[in-house]
Amino acid sequence: MNTHHPAPVRRTFGSQLREALPGALRKLDPRELVHAPVMLVVEAGAVFTTVASVVSPNTMGIGVTIWLWLTVLFGTLAESVAEGRGKAQAASLRSLQQETPARRRRPDGSTEHVPSAALKAGDVVVVEAGERIPGDGDVVEGVASVDESAVTGESAPVIRESGGDRSAVTGGTVVLSDQIVVRITSEPGHSFVDRMIALVEGSERQRTPNEVALNILLAFLTIIFVVVVGSLYYVADYSGAHQSWIVLVALLVCLIPTTIGALLSAIGIAGMDRLVRRNVLAMSGRAVEAAGDVDVLLLDKTGTITYGNRQASELLPLHGVAGGEMARAALLSSLADETPEGRSIVTLVHRLHSDLEESGAGGTLVEFSATTRMSGIDLPDRVIRKGAASAVAQWVRSTGPPESETSDRELSVLVDGVSASGGTPLVVAEQTDGRPARVLGVIHLKDVVKQGIRERFADMRAMGIRTVMITGDNAVTARAIAEEAGVDDFLAEATPEDKMALIRQEQHGGRLVAMCGDGTNDAPALAQADVGVAMNTGTMAAKEAGNMVDLDSDPTKLIDVVEIGKQLLITRGALTTFSVANDVAKYFAILPAMFVVAFPELDVLNVMQLSSPESAILSAVVFNALIIVALIPLSLRGVKYRPSSAVDLLRRNILVYGVGGLIAPFLGIKLLDLVISQIPGV
């Protein structure tokens, strides 16, 4: 990804916490905590202990109250820090929303000046060089270069024109040259930039199905523990081990899954943020989560798996033709060829024959044309042509009888071999001193597979994801490129209907499908796919149909999207495991402390040898709060992703976060107990 965003100012974690503190304090409002039931219960407990400590003040009660409030604050702080990471980007995007005067075209063809806020979907506006595009739309007339760096981060201007797959323009971007006529496609307040701002700030982040399900589970667990702790009051009285309500509230907070309850929202926001930092805009968190569960990736060949522009990869001279002679002719015949293929031939010749210095001085360049299908050069002593095999063969025959039938057969073998390998053959021939022309050899044009793409597909395979290449090429060419790229399967000579049929076939098999596209003809398939990534350079229809938009218009970004989705799911699972494992240690700290007086036999469960019941309870509460702060960086950064099978991921999750979640509290609570036991009154 070649973006040119300004380098972000590196801030310490402490500075991020300070900047997020005002937002965290605002989130203490119970109306804000409704979406986090675990933290709402903790806040209710903090309110209760606050009242109890005021009525009957004591060191234990005051200590528990302070740390319960800090527990709630740390939970809201995690979410506030996550949201704060998108504030800077949102601020830069807001600069695009300045009121822009627009020239709206009337039905009679004349124009009127109106503010951009007055534009509605269907309005037609005229935009000239130097002017800002007033709203999202499609170019209906003209062609122009447009500066989209404020949105994409890419400094190079892009071409936007009517009638193709590169007609979509974004409000706030600047026309650099010429004039275009744009039909507005968005209503005021619902533009592409508006959606970007809302999403990067987290204000319109919709919770994903898995996140909602986990929240419901946490709420049910919390209700169960509330009932258990409430019943424990009467059980303790009956057993002669009366417990204060402050102790019971402390027990409740330590029993319920506060760690994951506090970090759950931050994990989701951070996942969206990681996607935005890759210049991908997700229309919902559901799409990011679905990307993590994808089973099949559908990728176009051109521009995704290959570079798109065919490049010269090999010079194949005929028998009896020197390599230098063939290279010299290929170079001279390509001097007038300004296509990417022609320039790649020049590059290849210079790489193979660095000492070759021959110019076309004194010659007449013959540019490539669709009629002749050849390019070349006319020199005083010779004529050189390069082009399609049939066109060059016809030109050679027109100059006189062929040199030999053997050379014709050899040429056919070379041409057929290049075609069978998935390449495009270009034939080079020359005519010297008016004699019959002769064929020198074949240039192998190859649709070059991108570097590192085979390794990326291997990583996908390790995750259990099947990759399918889609191309309009014939089956022979498609098979050759598929084997080189390392994809699992391919669909050749594909039509939009074929894409739809393939997606439905995979989905009917119970698999989730991801694909990318940029054209209007891709819109149905993008809408049908579980994860549809539309290119920013594509049509508005494609961007509306997909549930993600890649601002860099890099089709390979689809692989990154899947990895980010995987990382989101892995991070949520790892921290949930850690949170549950944490609670086990807290049981060993608090429960023996509560009942050891009435039941001395329970002292055997005091494996940490904590100083006193009061110190044990307070140490558990303090640890419960501090572990949230300690895990905020991990929830924002995400658990490091490694391509592996589901079994390996589960094993690693249990070993690192399950076992680690058991050990960490034992050590932490013991260390806190050594400090807290020194406080008078505890």
- Catalytic residue positions? 300
Cα(295)–Cα(484) distance, rounded to whole angstroms? 22
Query: Do the Cβ atoms of 165 and 216 come closer than 8 Å?
Result: no
Which residue in 432, 431, 425, 428 sits closest to 441, CA to CA? Answer: 428
Identify the three-state secondary structure at position 674: helix
> Residue 237: CB partners within 8 Å, gap ≥ 6?
none
**What is the C-alpha separation between 559 and 563, in angstroms, rounded?**
6
Closest to 200 measured CA to CA, from 285, 75, 134, 77:
285
Helix 340-352 vs helix 323-333: crossing angle, to nearest 10: 150
Report residue 651 as tokens: 């094993």
In 3-state terms, what secondary structure has residue 208? Answer: coil
Amino acid at 185: T
How far apart CA 653 and CA 647 sit, in angstroms, is 10
β-pair type (111-115, 168-169): unpaired
- CA atoms 29, 34, 35, 41: torsion sign: positive
Q: What contacts 195, CB < 8 A, 6 or more positions away?
A: 204, 281, 283
| β-sheet with 382-388: strand ranges across | 311-317, 438-446, 424-432, 382-388, 374-378, 364-366
How many C-beta atoms lie closer than 10 Å to residue 680's C-beta? 5
Pick from 428, 386, 424: which is nearest to 411 by CA?
A: 428
How many Cα atoms occupy the beta-carbon half-sphere of 396 within 13 Å? 24
* One-letter amino acid of 519: G
Say if CB 384 and CB 429 are below 8 A apart: yes
3 state SS of 364: strand
Residue 14, amino acid = G
Phi, psi of 76 (to 5 degrees): -70, -30
d(CA 293, CA 311): 36
Residue pair 133/139 in contact by the 8 Å Cβ criterion: no
User: For 573-598, b where at least 16 C-beta lie within 10 A, e where not — what string?
Assistant: bbbbbbbbbbbebbebbbbbbbbbee
Secondary structure of 116-185 as H, E, C letters: HHHCCCCCEEEEECCCECCCCEEEEEEEEEEECHHHHCCCCCEEEECCCCCCEECCCCEECCCEEEEEEC
The beta strands (E) that lie in 284-405 are given as 296-300, 311-317, 364-366, 374-378, 382-388
Our separate counts of H helices and E strands in the chain read: 24, 21
Task: State the Cα–Cα distance between residues 291 and 286, nearest whole angstrom.
Answer: 9
Handedness of CA 20, 23, 28, 34 (dihedral sign): negative
> CB-based contacts of 69: which residues, under 8 Å, 6+ apart?
46, 50
Whether 661 and 580 have beta carbons less than 8 Å apart is answered as: yes
Tell me the C-alpha distance between 619 and 670, whole Å.
8
Q: What's the DSSP call for residue 449?
A: B
Residue 211 has which token pair?
């996140």
